[in-house]
């Protein structure tokens, strides 16, 4: 498992440097990374929790979102704001990012997905900022991902408890995970 996470981390670093080489804005770079990082976070959480059913549900949801995103891009043939091609609707970056955030929401609970929703929303903003999408493209991508996560994901009900905390004195954020014995 450590090897997989190590390889994912290395891939994200390489991806960052590749996007840096093209001189993209910081907003666009973050959006490019989040479209990959948030789904990786979602699938990694299922491995961390030893949640095989959750992994299957995420993959089903993510695959369906990706397929429908592509089919809609081809079917709608909408010109991007920058005029680069006719694949504007819906935003693939946004649908990918929201797939990860909404899976965490529907599987493990809303409070764990809040930071991921902020990052996914920033991904959508970055696509509009980079002149790659109109606002409605981003909203449609987010909506498609949220719908598929809602449809394919059931609530996790194993005997674990989470506690997120912030210590203002030491300025640290932490998470405690407890296995409950009944």
- The pTM score is 0.77
pLDDT tier at 26, thresholds 50, 70, 90: confident
What are the structural domain ranges in the chain? 2-156
The H-assigned helical ranges of 22-175 are 26-48, 52-76, 92-108, 110-129, 135-152
Residue 159, pLDDT above cutoff 70: no
Give pLDDT tens digits for 99-153.
999 999 999 999 999 999 999 999 999 999 999 999 999 999 999 999 999 999 9
What are 95's two structure tokens?
Answer: 């649908």
**What are the phi and psi torsion angles at 162 (to 5°)?**
-115, 150
Nearest to 141 by CA among 91, 176, 87: 91
């Amino acid at each position: 498992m450590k090897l997989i996470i190590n390889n994912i981390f290395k891939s994200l670093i390489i991806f960052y440097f590749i996007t840096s080489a093209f001189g993209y804005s910081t907003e666009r770079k973050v959006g490019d990374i989040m479209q990959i990082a948030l789904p990786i976070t979602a699938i990694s959480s299922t491995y961390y929790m030893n949640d095989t059913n959750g992994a299957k549900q995420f993959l089903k949801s993510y695959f369906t979102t990706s397929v429908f995103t592509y089919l809609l891009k081809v079917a709608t043939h909408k010109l991007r704001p920058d005029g680069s091609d006719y694949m504007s609707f819906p935003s693939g970056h946004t649908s990918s990012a929201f797939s990860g955030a909404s899976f965490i929401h529907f599987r493990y609970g809303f409070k764990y997905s809040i930071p991921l929703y902020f990052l996914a929303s920033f991904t959508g903003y970055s696509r509009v900022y980079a002149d790659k999408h109109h606002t409605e493209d981003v909203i449609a991508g987010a909506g498609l991902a949220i719908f598929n996560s809602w449809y394919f994901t059931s609530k996790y009900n194993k005997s674990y408890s989470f506690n997120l905390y912030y210590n203002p004195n030491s300025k640290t954020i932490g998470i405690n995970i407890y296995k409950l014995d009944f």
